Amino acid sequence: MFDYLFLGTGASVPSRDRALPCVAVRRGADIILFDCGEGSQRQLMVSRFSFMKIRGIFVTHLHGDHFYGLPGLLQTMGMSGRTDPLLVCGPEGFSEALRSCLEVCEGEIGYPLEMRDVGPGDRVGVAGMTVEVFATEHGIASQGYVLRDGPARKIDTAKAESLGIKGDDFRRLENGEEVNGVRMEDICLPPVPGSSVAYTGDTKKCQSVIDAVRGVDVLIHESTYLTSEESNAEAHNHSTAKQAAEVADEAGVGTLVLIHVSNRYKDLKPVLEEASAVFPNTVVPRDFEFYVTVKGGIRSA
């Protein structure tokens, strides 16, 4: 089950109220970060999440509002004594851009940092979870991600007992060993599907997003404009709140979360109203709002 911390919900330029895109999804102690706009490390420092617990960072595209915060965050982790490995992924050109930035600035990292270019169709394993990459449409190389918790596995204790499995046998089975011809899958109930969250980054409404996010528990979609600015959304390859809600509706997701809201909208109520008219189960968080998973969706905590 995931927790969600919305560290940056603004678009393009930061404002007094909203920082640039950065969303932390946590499972247990492990944190996955989506996008890392300028100032994200400071947002993390004043939040309840420790940046030392980040296991993977996934950047959607190389526009500055989604990327400029990454070199600084990586460097601060090193200066804070991080020794745990970290995986950072982004679209084509990401690794080269990040590497040259760190080299030019002589950024000391000091922990195992794996930089990887990934693209639509790729699957990446991180901290026991899976990240699927899907195509978005934003005028440059851009992509979104679906994060899936592994399926929850439960042991059928009656069956284990009937097969003579006891005590230390369970540990051996967990380690992949066979015990008297019995394997772990022989004593497990059918897996319960795990949680799933999709993060689009910047995109206009497109079929590749609808296909990729079908049925996810939570869809975090950009919502730069309202319908009154639809021509602007079209011109800049962004979405309106209504279009994001249509994606959520057509894909049959559980909850829609709107971020990347233009600074021209100081009041978020019209954004929520426009989306809710199409997809009622919508939330529009402010910076630092924290959501937990509850039965039937997520709730602010």
Q: Which of 63, 82, 148, 242 binds Zn ion (CB under 5 A)?
A: 63
Q: Which stretch binds Zn ion (CB under 5 A): 59-67, 95-103, 144-152, 207-215?
A: 59-67
Q: Which is nearer to Zn ion, 195 or 239 (CB)?
A: 239
Residues with active-site annotation: 65
221 binds Zn ion (CB under 5 A): no
Residue 101: CB minimum distance to Zn ion, A: 18
Shortest distance (Å) from residue 81 CB to Zn ion: 32
For Zn ion, the closer CB: 262 or 293: 262
Q: Which is nearer to Zn ion, 189 or 235 (CB)?
A: 235
Rounded distance between C-alpha atoms, residue 124 and residue 39, angstroms: 26
Q: Return the half-sphere exposure (C-beta side, CA atoms, 13 A cut-off) of residue 75.
A: 16
- Identity of the residue, 140 or 292, whose beta carbon is nearer to Zn ion in the bound complex: 140
Residues touching Zn ion, count (CB under 5 A): 3
Applying CB under 5 A, does 65 fall inside the site for Zn ion? yes
CB of 65 to Zn ion, least distance (A): 4
- What would the x/- binding string for Zn ion be over residues 164 to 203, using CB under 5 A? --------------------------------------x-
Taking the complex as a whole, the smallest distance from the CB of residue 119 to Zn ion amounts, in Å, to 17
Q: What residues line the site for Zn ion (CB under 5 A)?
A: 63, 65, 202
